[in-house]
Amino acid sequence: MFSFRASRLYWLLPVTILAISMAPPASGSDRSTTSKASGPHAGPQVAGLIYRIISNEWQTRSTMQQYSPRIETYLQYYRPDPMLGDVPTADSYFLGRLKFSSEVINRAKEASFLPEAPVGRVLRHARMLREGLHPDEIALESLVVDERNFDSKHYAFEPVRWEYLGDVRCLAIDIHPLDPKSPGAFKGRIWVEDQNYAIVRLNGTRLNAPLLDSYVHFDCWRENLRPGVWLPVYIYSQESDRGNLRYKSQSRLWGYDLAARREQQEWTNILVDASTPVRDNTEDTPDLSPLDGQRQLAIDAERNVLDRLEKARLIAPPGPVDKVLETVVNNLIVTNHLGSLPPIHCRVMLTSTLESFSLAYTIVLSRGLIDVLPDEASLAMILAHELAHIALVQRVDAKFAFNDRLQFSDEDLLSVLDVARNPADEAGADAKGVEFLQNSPYKDKLSQVGLFLRAAVDAAPHLPHLFGPHLGNGLTEGKSKMLRMEDLVIGAPALRPLDVDQIAALPLGSRVQVNAWDGSAYFPSRKAEPLINASEKMPFRLAPTVPHLKVHFPGGKAALSARLAP
């Protein structure tokens, strides 16, 4: 597979001047403007522009090495169906972080966070060999244009047109290697923004894969995360013409704020906080009773678990999505007279896998789970189950109140942390949760909730990775697919996959967006589009996301220009 290797900068190489000018149009030009040849004076301008693109790309590559973003790749194999669209048949999952190896200078690797038994590893490798597809490396292939030879000696640049990606005016340029046999060379299209000519999107593939290997087609989007710096945040990949191999995959990168060496950054944050006094009137605080002590231990364990997960950027910092979830929890609390409980908080786990768990007084839902829930009543169902754990005093293991128990690397975290419930606790929480729902404002909408659960049971056998939780409990369990809140299915209508008006579950990516810098989660503003036919329902499926690009740091232009000046 494509990998980073040591390489040198070719900033001073002569630049091939192309027949058609890539000079930017005058500012304020119309969105549909297409670039045209602009006369004999275009030459030096084009050379300068290509020089900026190339040097900016080298800069991006070295900037990337300062960070250690989280990477998640979720892949669905599918079969085309004339009525239902691309129906998933199996799936694959990777979660880890980007790191640059010190053994081979600058070589990018993905360090996995997923515990894996030896048998699982053998099976996975056998499948990769058979298909020539490496789900855990798709993101690496598309991070930069070419890590060794990106310069005008090795590539031809052909301008296509000016167009807008989101709010950013970009020049689309087709590029291909001058030597068609060059291993790992990129062929496809790049989009460069009109301020610094940084690449904001790459769409294409690589050529001349090593023996027994192959490259995929990818569409990689970058966001403006620092002044003048655009870093990869989202990669979509799809293949449909490699024999029987058909798949779609989505990779997300977030948590760029985690520096590759972060000790210094943590000390800085703590020292900034020190300027705010936290507490006064300490003399008035009464001693804790044994009951208070017991609760405090659970609260300490909860805080330790949340802190550690947030530090690994596996859960989002507190934010607006939490508030929406807490409103629904509050509806359940008020109507079930649970006012004696301490305040209940909600958090978002940043992964696509469908899972939830509760600790002492905090409920955590995964991004993927929030995405696929079709309505508020279904969200209430998930929250009612977790609230039931809290009301039944089924708490996180108090062992996590002792701080040494969470001092592990990010790579080991998911195998060390165990917050899943046993079957008896699950059954108890299901019964209590159904009771909460029947007393709640959602009591008349439980047939829709049952429909969602029906769709989950239908999809789960084909998508074990999506339905397989890493920390908490999933919607379904084992091969037999016993499901959560099973009683609600009884009153639910039958699934009608061809009926456009029956929406049982949504596609992944439907609701929550993640800020790629700090991993904060939010609901983007989107308008609902009516569906044309059943193939657009896509329950639990992957669909390409089109990021809305924005310039977040307009002040970066001057700083970057100064840095890149020849």
Which residues of this protein are in contact with Zn ion, per CB under 5 A?
421, 426, 429, 473
Residue whose CB is less far from Zn ion, 91 or 386: 386
Instruction: Write out the H or E segment, with its range, that includes residue 157.
Output: strand 155-165
Q: What angle do CA 115, 475, 542 make, to 5 degrees?
A: 75
Q: In whole angstroms, how close is the CB of 388 to Zn ion at the nearest point?
A: 8
Q: In whole angstroms, how close is the CB of 396 to Zn ion at the nearest point?
A: 12
Q: Which residues pair with 232 in a beta bridge?
A: 222
Q: Which residues contact 374 (CB under 8 A, 6 or more apart)?
A: 448, 452, 503, 504, 505, 506
Q: In whole angstroms, how close is the CB of 355 to Zn ion at the nearest point?
A: 10
Residue whose CB is less far from Zn ion, 353 or 473: 473
Residue whose CB is less far from Zn ion, 429 or 508: 429
Closest by CA to 149, choosing from 109, 177, 173, is 177
CA–chain centroid gap for 453, Å, is: 24
For the record, the structure tokens of 37 come out as 């040849």
Q: Is 231 helix (H, G, I), strand (E, B) or coil?
A: strand
Residue whose CB is less far from Zn ion, 235 or 471: 471
Residue whose CB is less far from Zn ion, 194 or 435: 435
Q: In whole angstroms, how close is the CB of 384 to Zn ion at the nearest point?
A: 11
Q: In whole angstroms, how close is the CB of 200 to Zn ion at the nearest point?
A: 42
Look at the chain and count its residues.
566
Q: Which residues pair with 560 in a beta bridge?
A: none
Q: In whole angstroms, how close is the CB of 449 to Zn ion at the nearest point?
A: 16
Euclidean distance between CA atoms 43 and 47, whole angstroms: 6
Residue whose CB is less far from Zn ion, 421 or 454: 421
**DSSP-assigned letters across all residues of 378-419:** HHHHHHHHHHHHHHTT----GGGGSGGGG---HHHHHHH---
Is residue 535 within 8 A of residue 83, CB to CB? The reply is yes
Euclidean distance between CA atoms 504 and 455, whole angstroms: 6
Q: In whole angstroms, how close is the CB of 295 to Zn ion at the nearest point?
A: 20
Q: Is 60 helix (H, G, I), strand (E, B) or coil?
A: helix
**Residue 339 buriedness (CB in 10 A; 0-12 / 13-18 / 19+):** exposed
Q: What pairing do the DSSP bridges indicate for beta strands 85-101 and 70-81?
A: antiparallel
**CA–CA distance from 232 to each of 28, 266, 525, 549, 563 (Å)?**
28, 24, 22, 12, 21
Residue whose CB is less far from Zn ion, 95 or 483: 483
Residue whose CB is less far from Zn ion, 195 or 378: 378
**Residue 225 buriedness (CB in 10 A; 0-12 / 13-18 / 19+):** buried
Residue whose CB is less far from Zn ion, 15 or 384: 384
Is residue 268 within 8 A of residue 259, CB to CB? The reply is no
Residue whose CB is less far from Zn ion, 55 or 473: 473
Q: In whole angstroms, how close is the CB of 473 to Zn ion at the nearest point?
A: 4
Q: In whole angstroms, how close is the CB of 433 to Zn ion at the nearest point?
A: 8
Residue whose CB is less far from Zn ion, 152 or 394: 394
Residue whose CB is less far from Zn ion, 336 or 473: 473
Q: In whole angstroms, how close is the CB of 277 to Zn ion at the nearest point?
A: 40
Euclidean distance between CA atoms 457 and 450, whole angstroms: 11
Q: In whole angstroms, how close is the CB of 402 to Zn ion at the nearest point?
A: 24
Is residue 541 within 8 A of residue 508, CB to CB? The reply is yes
For the record, the structure tokens of 520 come out as 């904060």
Q: In whole angstroms, how close is the CB of 67 to Zn ion at the nearest point?
A: 35
Residue whose CB is less far from Zn ion, 23 or 332: 332
Euclidean distance between CA atoms 398 and 375, whole angstroms: 34
**CA–CA distance from 369 to each of 70, 96, 151, 353, 479 (Å)?**
19, 19, 44, 7, 20
Q: In whole angstroms, how close is the CB of 426 to Zn ion at the nearest point?
A: 5
- The residue behind tokens 């829709």 is 448
Ramachandran region, residue 173 (left: φ > 0; alpha: ψ -120 to 50; beta: rest): beta
Residue whose CB is less far from Zn ion, 230 or 400: 400
For the record, the structure tokens of 478 come out as 């084992």
For the record, the structure tokens of 222 come out as 């970058």
Q: What pairing do the DSSP bridges indicate for beta strands 345-349 and 362-366?
A: parallel
- The residue behind tokens 């340029």 is 173
Q: In whole angstroms, how close is the CB of 174 to Zn ion at the nearest point?
A: 52
